[in-house]
Structure 1
Amino acid sequence: MWWKDSIVYRIDPRSFQDSDDDGMGDVKGITKRMDYIKHVGFNTILLSPMLQPGSVEHIKSTGTLAGFPTNLGSIQDIHNLIQNAHEHGLKILFSLVLSNTSIDHPWFEAAANDKNSEYSSFYLFSDEIPNNWINVSGKKAWSFEERRKQYYHHSYNYDSADLNWRNPELGLIMEEYLAYWLESGVDGFYLQDINTLIKDDALRDNPTNFGIIRRRYERQEHVFDRNRSETHLKLERLRNVVNRYDDRILIGRLQTPDAGEPELSASFLGIESEKMHLVVDRSITNTRFTANRIELSAKRLYEAIGSNRTPVWELIDGSRSRMLGRCGKVEALARLAALFQLTQRGMIILYYGQELGLPDSKLPLYKRLFRKKRAKQTLGPMIWSTGEGSGFSMAEPWIPFARGANRLSVENQLLEEGSILQLYRTLIKLRNRTPALQRGVCSFIQTSNPRLLAYTRETEEERYAVLLNFDERYQRLDVDGVEIRGTVIFSTLRGMASESKGVVLKELGSYEGVILRLGSETEE
């Protein structure tokens, strides 16, 4: 099954490549850069949410997609992208949010303008605010729609409205929508916030969470606005649609506390034919990037998923900060993150520009405040080359480039030996030819040094140790008092190492990570 060890490249079309010089990336731009994606070593493309739910009838009758920005391209551009990806030997996944739509969506517009509209039952409306629910921003989850003189529910900001998945007609439309894209050649879907589809039918108040919690959203126990048992039935129906097509997948991500809930996420996994093929948990995305925190999160994720199912490793998802920001702007630590991520069992998802070490962009105030212009600091344009427009666009980009654009460009890094892009390419090649790094068992090794992370990856045929120093100072290795003896095949400081068997590794350099091949001929 291709997805069990796939290396996925997550792209936001708006920021990847502008094909028509209007300052914003588009679908044609992704097609233009397909050779680069293949060159780095990715085998799957994941498009960040650009499509909103809609009816297949609308698509076929109008040739357009509901709520799809025209400056991103046409429906034909999307079909061309799918075909081009397959011609390059790449799989392509669509990220979808099926729990809500924009308030600019034709469905919501129709419901807002006419209480008798067929789309009124597609949303949750109420004459009064019916409960104490809050959205992810910690504000009231109900906003007033002036045209209807009613409140509508939104789990996120007021510019989106939650869909009423208790309406069976809506479920059928969603099933047809997935089938349309599967027929078009899409290899699967990354469904976001799948545990928020169904709300309590009586709209009861959420109980208070009396723990010491900083984030306001988590001061409620979200038992009535997410994780309803009926959600699983809806997801099983979506899985049944996907099962009608060969070799397609469903990936699910849950709305959970910042710390993640791997056990809850795992409950949405199927064994064979029901629920999700894969789930993404926020624990590994949001934990502090230190040796002990990463080890605890990784252990918990592996234990929750189990040995017979496949974990997903997504260190950044574009919601907060890029990898460099998460690593305190220490590039050497971002290199360590690359080594950690690409030596885990399962699917790997990298965020566009992660392979370049791009930092966050500094946004002007209006990009942070106004709904129509709102953006995130992680959405800085891809940096392709030096000079005007950085190879992205000849127009002013919709979001400023990250600082140091020329130094970090693809053009420069492909020429620079030892660049972080070259590091990613090397690690991906190494992973792809090493079964133990793809699907081998991962066992963490106890160390007495809190700055070190150590684990083995092994199959019946081969065994490797991965050692990472999370500190800027050299660290002596103390792994259960046992010498680490093997063949160093990779170092984040030196790249691919020469084959020198039987080396006893006594220390790691500043923020250094290494891979050692272990074997009977080198073990004591």
Structure 2
Amino acid sequence: MTKTWWKEAVIYQIYPRSFKDSNGDGIGDLAGIIEKLDYLAQLGVDILWLSPIYQSPNDDNGYDISDYRAIMTEFGDLATFERMLAAIHERGMKLMLDLVVNHSSDEHRWFQESRKSKDNPYRDYYFWRPEKPVSWPSFFGGEAWEYDAATGEYYLHLFSKKQPDLNWENPKLREEVYDMMRFWLDKGVDGFRMDVIPFISKRLEWPAVDWSDFPKIVEEVYANGPRLHEFLQEMHREVLSHYPITTVGEAPGVPPSLANTYVGEDRQELDMIFHFGHMFLDWGPGGKFDLTTWDLRDFKRVFNEWYAALGETGWVSIFLDNHDFPRLVSRWGNDGEYRIPSAKLLAILLLSQRGTPSIYQGTEIGMTNVAFPSIEDYRDIETLNTWREAQEKGADLEQLLAAIHQQGRDNVRTPVQWDDTPHAGFTTAPAPWIKVNPNYPHINAAAVLADPNSIFYFYQQLLSFRKAHLTWVYGEYVMLDNNDTRLYAYRRWDENGDFYFFLNFSDEDFHGLPGPALTQMSLVMGNYPDTQTAYLRPWEARVYEVEGRRSEVGNRR
């Protein structure tokens, strides 16, 4: 396996709107990010991935871009961007921008021209049809084909109707995208995270779909289109190969069997992808608000399948939450009585997988989901559209609100909780763009920085340990017990170390650890302040190293 810097790095995702407001308008901005760079350097992360910062009308909080070469007015300007980039580099970190090129905003100049007439030079920058060719569901509710009265035709939008899909079949469109990428790379940007990149090649026969099984539609129809890899290889040849950068593709709908077609070392496409197999385990056929219960055995199965498929030639970026999914500790852990130990357990899991870890803002302080009492408190277009459709259908709104509390995207978009002052120190405005989670008085950055046993310092220690022990990056990986519903046990080893991981995913004690006798191993890390060898306590995680290969780093808790 080829060793390289981006495999050994750790990504930290910033959602700028909710990170830090510097000017008192209630909206996070680039200057606010600059204010907190020393905090991020102290944590020890390597790559800062910023969700979109480009000019946007914010129908989907920046994922609807109206000008790819301008900074969103609310966030700052190009001069502030360049100052931020320099400050990031001065601290030894790198910057990764979000590349959103499956769709644009309907307020982008290209679409404004495209909709003027059927013979406009920009018409084929998008997908227009005189009749709706098929009934496809949009990710944000409703139909994916929208009628436009100006020319009497329909355009495609897999997301919001204000996010028309770009037509990658058009070589002029592709060159526009490549030129825009060069614009940012020439400024010194260190890479791109590519939004829903498997969707850029469309199945132009427009196959019919069964609306009742949305995950199947994503995998079999929306993703992995016929010219996708041709487009990615062209992008690599024309742009990516000319810069010392890294790329990660968001890859919903990509099964393990296709992973190496994106990231195989001989493919000349992407460096790594975010895989999503585990992120749909608690979704029913109706999508994210069709709740079901996830099982740890399925979680382990997904990771086994991906590692087996990738082999020695492919690479992934590992994530357990991001701007689209619930808070890590609320979804996979216990955000009540065992919030701190379960958050630390999940930190060990995240940072010891075979892939480049991605930490979402606020995870390092143990932020949780929020249960706003009223739909009026929510801002996410997906949530609001789903609510409106449910109202129209006479659905059970109380049940839907409970599902929103678990799965809604605003769970991870409430402002970062910096301290216990009003609005958690995020803003001095009378009100932020979205309410702060009311638990901020006791869950905030100032509190964890004052506590040497906090989640923050546990992440810091883990990041340092991972850098010093590349067995956690490149070592072999094997699951020790695939069928247990509470214990996640695995081994990482190579010529430099041999580590055993035991994670109790439950509120109960766990007895009976697999692997070599514990007397043959030394404890190097755990998430409880004291240790005993008989059993694992609720949400207890331990890392052992086989005797004779013991690390010189002491116990960490």
> Structure 1 counterpart of 2:355, which letter?
G
> Which position in structure 2 is the counterpart of 1:204?
206
Match of 1:227 among 192, 214, 224: 224
| 1:485/1:505 contact within 8 Å kept | no
> Which position in structure 2 is the counterpart of 1:390?
424
Instruction: Give, in angstroms, the shift of residue 149 of structure 1.
Output: 2.3
Deviations for 1:189-242, whole angstroms, at most 9, x for unmatched residues? Answer: 1112112112133x4323549xxxxx5424647655432221111111111244
> Structure 1 counterpart of 2:323, which letter?
G
- Say if 2:15 is the partner of 1:12: yes
Q: Could you tell me how far apart the structure 2 residues matched to 1:381 and 1:75 are?
A: 24
- Structure 2, unmatched stretches of 5+, are 57-66, 283-293, 385-408, 551-557
Q: Could you tell me how far apart the structure 1 residues matched to 2:239 and 2:171 are?
A: 19
- Say if 2:418 is the partner of 1:409: no
Match of 1:347 among 352, 356, 360: 356
Instruction: Give, in angstroms, the shift of residue 392 of structure 1.
Output: 1.3
Deviations for 1:46-74, whole angstroms, at most 9, x for unmatched residues? Answer: 01133379xxxxxxxxxx75675311111
Q: Could you tell me how far apart the structure 2 residues matched to 1:87 and 1:312 are?
A: 25
Instruction: Give, in angstroms, the shift of residue 328 of structure 1.
Output: 4.7
| 2:70/2:77 contact within 8 Å kept | no
Match of 1:514 among 542, 545, 550: 542
> Which position in structure 2 is the counterpart of 1:261?
255
Change in 2 beyond 3 A, CA 1:153/1:483? same
> Which position in structure 2 is the counterpart of 1:337?
346
Deviations for 1:112-165, whole angstroms, at most 9, x for unmatched residues? Answer: 234443222111112211123222246321011233322110111222100111
- Say if 2:354 is the partner of 1:319: no
Q: Could you tell me how far apart the structure 1 residues matched to 2:298 and 2:242 are?
A: 40
**Residues 282-321 of structure 1 mapped to structure 2, 5 A cutoff:** 282-287=276-281, 291-321=296-326
Match of 1:379 among 409, 413, 431: 413
> 2:465 is paired with a residue of what secondary structure?
helix
Q: Which moved more, 1:65-74 or 1:43-52?
A: 65-74
> Structure 2 counterpart of 1:204, which letter?
W
| 2:113/2:122 contact within 8 Å kept | yes
> Which position in structure 2 is the counterpart of 1:189?
192
Count how many residue pairs are aligned between Structure 1 and Structure 2: 496
> Which position in structure 2 is the counterpart of 1:117?
120
| 2:135/2:208 contact within 8 Å kept | yes
| 1:242/1:248 contact within 8 Å kept | no
> Structure 1 counterpart of 2:246, which letter?
I
> Which position in structure 2 is the counterpart of 1:271?
265
Q: Could you tell me how far apart the structure 2 residues matched to 1:373 and 1:229 are?
A: 32
Q: Could you tell me how far apart the structure 1 residues matched to 2:298 and 2:482 are?
A: 14
Match of 1:420 among 452, 455, 480: 455
> Structure 2 counterpart of 1:516, which letter?
Y
> 1:487 is paired with a residue of what secondary structure?
strand
Instruction: Give, in angstroms, the shift of residue 300 of structure 1.
Output: 1.1
> Which position in structure 1 is the counterpart of 2:375?
365
> 1:312 is paired with a residue of what secondary structure?
strand
| 1:355/1:424 contact within 8 Å kept | yes
Q: Could you tell me how far apart the structure 2 residues matched to 1:471 and 1:455 are?
A: 17
Instruction: Give, in angstroms, the shift of residue 378 of structure 1.
Output: 1.4
Q: Could you tell me how far apart the structure 1 residues matched to 2:89 and 2:544 are?
A: 35
> Which position in structure 2 is the counterpart of 1:107?
110
> 1:101 is paired with a residue of what secondary structure?
coil
| 1:12/1:352 contact within 8 Å kept | yes
Instruction: Give, in angstroms, the shift of residue 357 of structure 1.
Output: 1.1
Deviations for 1:477-515, whole angstroms, at most 9, x for unmatched residues? Answer: 2416855631111111128x8xxxxxx933111110011
Instruction: Give, in angstroms, the shift of residue 441 of structure 1.
Output: 1.4
Change in 2 beyond 3 A, CA 1:101/1:127? same
Q: Could you tell me how far apart the structure 2 residues matched to 1:448 and 1:167 are?
A: 49
| 1:448/1:479 contact within 8 Å kept | no
| 1:448/1:478 contact within 8 Å kept | no
Instruction: Give, in angstroms, the shift of residue 402 of structure 1.
Output: 1.2
| 1:95/1:192 contact within 8 Å kept | yes
- Structure 1, unmatched stretches of 5+, are 54-63, 210-214, 498-503
| 2:478/2:490 contact within 8 Å kept | yes
> Structure 2 counterpart of 1:467, which letter?
F
| 2:297/2:483 contact within 8 Å kept | no
Change in 2 beyond 3 A, CA 1:284/1:125? same
| 1:138/1:216 contact within 8 Å kept | no
> 1:408 is paired with a residue of what secondary structure?
coil
| 2:504/2:536 contact within 8 Å kept | yes
> Which position in structure 2 is the counterpart of 1:463?
498
Instruction: Give, in angstroms, the shift of residue 398 of structure 1.
Output: 0.6
Match of 1:239 among 231, 236, 239: 236
TM-score by length of structure 1 reads 0.88
> Which position in structure 2 is the counterpart of 1:126?
129
Q: Could you tell me how far apart the structure 1 residues matched to 2:303 and 2:219 are?
A: 25
> 2:367 is paired with a residue of what secondary structure?
coil
| 1:310/1:346 contact within 8 Å kept | yes
Q: Could you tell me how far apart the structure 2 residues matched to 1:388 and 1:138 are?
A: 35
> Which position in structure 2 is the counterpart of 1:212?
none
Q: Could you tell me how far apart the structure 2 residues matched to 1:352 and 1:309 are?
A: 27
Aligned alpha-carbon RMSD (Å): 2.7
Q: Could you tell me how far apart the structure 2 residues matched to 1:431 and 1:391 are?
A: 31
TM-score by length of structure 2 reads 0.83
Change in 2 beyond 3 A, CA 1:221/1:425? closer
Q: Could you tell me how far apart the structure 2 residues matched to 1:206 and 1:417 are?
A: 57
| 2:111/2:122 contact within 8 Å kept | yes
